[in-house]
Copies of this chain bind each other. A is one copy, B any other.
Amino acid sequence: MRIGLDAMGGDFAPKAAVEGAQQAAKELGTTDSVVLFGDEDQLRAFMQPEDYQGGKLEIVHTPEYVGMGDHPTKAISHKPNSSIFKGFRHLKAGEIDAFAGAGNTGAMLVGAVYILNQIPGIIRPAITSILPKIDGSTGIILDVGLNPDAKPDVLYQYAILGSLYAIHVFGIEKPKIALLNIGAEEEKGNINTQAAFRTMKDSIDFNFTGNIEANELFTGNADVVICDGFAGNIVLKEAEGIYNLIKNQGISNAYFERFNYENYGGSPILGVNGIAVVGHGMSSPLAIKNMILHAGEMYRSNLDSKIRTTINQ
């Protein structure tokens, strides 16, 4: 297994990226590699001797990189040899098995959609994030920002994507799929969620359990929560904001530590041809490590091919 990393991506790159990659490599098998895309000289400066059993580090030199201020769609034509876009081309060519990056999120999404392309039949890809549940389990929520105006047909397909994720990545046999809404009853919500409920309620494509309200996200029994990218991004960022306040107040708590993005590392993009994982801009080495390992887990789940098969049934 060869996992690509945008080693120039993230606020603390390339140092944090290289350190995180090396930590991940230690936990991988001896036939695995982490492939760093970035400026070779800069990367080598941070590499430590590989005095461990585990995966290897490799470097693919890229002479340029996409900055946080670069416009994503301009960057793909102006900086084709940047670490992000070269990484995605390597993934498309099968030279790596997954690609992860904590840099310019828009450029990561542009790379996923324009280089890997959407799986045929997918209306819109989605980004997922995790929901740390109080019972110890972990749910997912999608979309968390790729499609702020996802319509009922897109939401219906997100339910299929999320269900496949829960089955193949989490190993849940019959995942419970809920629609994020502002009331429990079918007639509650905005026009979009009301219509989405009607399309989902008799679905045989997934196990729909009805609406979920935001106060139940971490306590309810939903394995997968479906919403448009506007609502999902608000859910994600509010949780992040409150987690930061919990830390700010000096509170140390094992449950809330599961809200720390460092511990899950990144958000997969579902619905494209290939495994792509987007990380938080502020990623530490720990976050980078976990993002790489999660990308490996996604690759082993073979989720993109499972999605391709299911969507085209």
Interface positions of A (Cβ within 8 A of B): 134, 145, 148-149, 180, 182, 189-191, 193, 213-219, 228-231, 233-242, 244-246, 248-249, 251, 253, 255-256
Contact A234 B182 (CB under 8 A): yes
Report B-chain residues with C-beta under 8 Å of the C-beta of A215. 237-238, 240-241, 244
CA distance A134 to B233 in the complex (A): 22
Contact A238 B238 (CB under 8 A): yes
Other A-B pairs beyond A149-B190, A251-B251, 5, CB < 8 Å: A149-B191, A218-B242, A242-B242, A245-B256, A246-B246
CA distance A275 to B213 in the complex (A): 28
Report B-chain residues with C-beta under 8 Å of the C-beta of A134. 245, 248
CA distance A241 to B238 in the complex (A): 12
Complex: chain B residue closest to A188, CB-CB: B148
Complex: chain B residue closest to A242, CB-CB: B242
Report B-chain residues with C-beta under 8 Å of the C-beta of A253. 249, 251
CA distance A20 to B239 in the complex (A): 33
Report B-chain residues with C-beta under 8 Å of the C-beta of A255. 245, 249
Main secondary structure of the interface of A (DSSP, over half): helix
Contact A230 B190 (CB under 8 A): yes
Contact A182 B233 (CB under 8 A): yes
Contact A217 B191 (CB under 8 A): no
Contact A216 B234 (CB under 8 A): no
Contact B242 A182 (CB under 8 A): no
CA distance A255 to B235 in the complex (A): 21
CA distance A242 to B131 in the complex (A): 12
CA distance A193 to B149 in the complex (A): 11
Contact A230 B149 (CB under 8 A): no
Report B-chain residues with C-beta under 8 Å of the C-beta of A246. 246, 256
Could you tell me the distance in whole angstroms from the C-beta of A228 to the nearest C-beta in chain B?
A: 7
Complex: chain B residue closest to A181, CB-CB: B230
Could you tell me the distance in whole angstroms from the C-beta of A71 to the nearest C-beta in chain B?
A: 11
Contact A237 B251 (CB under 8 A): no
Could you tell me the distance in whole angstroms from the C-beta of A184 to the nearest C-beta in chain B?
A: 12
Report B-chain residues with C-beta under 8 Å of the C-beta of A214. 233-238, 241
CA distance A248 to B255 in the complex (A): 11
- Determine which of B236, B238, B244 lies in contact with A239 in the assembled complex, contact meaning CB atoms within 8 Å: B238
Interface hub of A149, A231, A245 (most chain B Cβ within 10 A): A245
Report B-chain residues with C-beta under 8 Å of the C-beta of A216. 241
Report B-chain residues with C-beta under 8 Å of the C-beta of A234. 180, 182, 214, 231, 234-235
CA distance A237 to B234 in the complex (A): 12
Contact B231 A231 (CB under 8 A): yes
Could you tell me the distance in whole angstroms from the C-beta of A252 to the nearest C-beta in chain B?
A: 10
Contact B149 A228 (CB under 8 A): no
Could you tell me the distance in whole angstroms from the C-beta of A275 to the nearest C-beta in chain B?
A: 25
Could you tell me the distance in whole angstroms from the C-beta of A79 to the nearest C-beta in chain B?
A: 21
Report B-chain residues with C-beta under 8 Å of the C-beta of A236. 214
Could you tell me the distance in whole angstroms from the C-beta of A183 to the nearest C-beta in chain B?
A: 8
